[in-house]
Amino acid sequence: MSGERPAVYWDTCPFIAWIMDEKRAPGEMDGVQACLDDVRAGRLLMVTSTITKVELLSCKAQTPEQCQRFDEFLMRPEIVLVSVDQRIAQKAHDLRDHYAGLGGKTLSTPDAIHLATALMYKVEQLHTFDNGKMGNCLGLLELDGDVAGEPLAIVKPGSYQLRLV
């Protein structure tokens, strides 16, 4: 994204970690909080897909208060909430097709949509905790630096070094 503030993309994992106040490896939740603080202070734009809401709310342990906190956060002016349109759907299709052709693990549909949206919106980084240890799907962190031949930094929240306004 062009503009004065850097933009990062969050897939669903960091949102779940924040909303559920997960117990994670040392420093990981500090990274989540630092990123959220940068967004709230207007130093950072955050991009995410509308499918994040679908994925996040599938977590049965959420309370109504947690859901409200998430919904209120998405209304902030520093949040760019992107709907899946034809361009993003085609890009996600192409990404899934690319990785299906490599054999072994596949790229899940939600992850393909997250990657396609991040690439289309030209964010500086995609933030995730997805290491691919569940199921037969690629982890997003495995794709750091090269998503089907396109450059994209994929890191855990807090691992970013951006020029903040």
Evaluate whether residue 99 is within a structural domain: yes
The two three-digit tokens of residue 94, written as one number: 């192409």
Examine the pLDDT at 159 and tell me if it is beyond 80: no
- Total domains present in the chain: 1
Count of alpha carbons within 13 angstroms of residue 54, beta-carbon side = 10
Q: What does pTM read for this prediction?
A: 0.91
Q: How confident is the model over 111-117, as a mean pLDDT?
A: 98
Residues 44, 57, 145, 164, Cα dihedral to 10°? 10
Flag whether 23 is in a domain: yes
- In three-state secondary structure terms, 141 is helix
CATH code of the domain containing 25:
3.40.50.1010
Residue 108 φ then ψ, to 5°: -65, 155
Domain that holds residue 147: 7-155
In a domain, 144, yes or no: yes
Question: pLDDT tens, 52-66?
Answer: 988 886 566 678 888
Residue 146 DSSP one-character state: -
Q: Supply 140's token pair.
A: 């997003």
Whether 160 is in a domain gets the answer no
